[in-house]
Amino acid sequence: MKPTEEPPAYTQIAKEHALAQAELLKRQEELERKAAELDRREREMQSLNQQGGRKNNWPPLPGNFPVGPCFYQDFSVDIPVEFQKTVKIMYYLWMFHAVTLFLNIFGCLAWFCLQPRRGVDFGLSILWFLLFTPCSFVCWYRPLYGAFRSDSSFRFFVFFFVYICQFAVHVLQAVGFQGWGNCGWISSLTGLNQSIPVGIMMIVIAALFTASAVISLIMFKKVHGLYRTTGASFEKAQQEFATGVMSNKTVQTAAANAASTAATSAAQNAFKGNQI
């Protein structure tokens, strides 16, 4: 048998050179893509400024409505192209959960009509819809939107913290303990033993809660993977938080007042000491 011959040194050098060149081309394409994205967003921002600036457009309300929109939302303007699909899915997931909570009211109402002692579940189902729908939008969806819009590490951490709590709520709603105001699996099977139509309605809602929990877990992993590619970190989140606190006018005013009070108190104490 002939001994295995090692490839010539120049072959390995050529391979390393080719790999380095491919890496440079990849980085160049990435930089060009980011430059094009920044140019696109700058043009769209200029167009918005010419039209009178960014005006709140969410929720979309009629012009004669007494309350106006509270937020500005435009995926094509605010969110980089590579993250737009993920942010849109999270937005649709929020809407899906809101619709599920709305249907949960009718499921608990049907159960209440079947069993008058289930009035607590019906009342809590209304409370959960009124509470979780706006709070989830403000507490985890908007931080996620802002995190991808401005590449904010602090907002990413806010999202992760709140979204973990939200996932726990999804799981509890899917389980459906009796007396908690959710048409989950435990409540649905109980309702099915008492009335087949009501039980089927509750089972459908339990399936929707389960789907919310599963999709939430999948999207959490997706967002976490994207977060690791953005260069965000806990240290950057701390810096952003410190910068935001120090630049807050309320904090600056409070610090100035505290310093002024401390200086005045020290001067008065020194004056009293000299008199003594």
Task: For residue range 192-248, list pLDDT tens digits in order.
Answer: 999 999 999 999 999 999 999 999 999 999 999 999 887 655 566 556 555 654 444
Return all residues near 44 (Cβ < 8 A) that are at least 6 apart: 76, 77
**pTM, whole model, 2 decimals?**
0.73
Residue 137 three-state SS:
helix
CA distance 175 to 206: 8
pLDDT, tens digit, 9 for 90 and up, residues 92-151: 999 999 999 999 999 999 999 999 999 999 999 999 999 999 999 999 999 999 999 988
Q: Which residues contact 156 (CB under 8 A, 6 or more apart)?
A: 143, 144, 147, 227, 230, 232, 237
The residue extents of the domains of the chain are 95-229
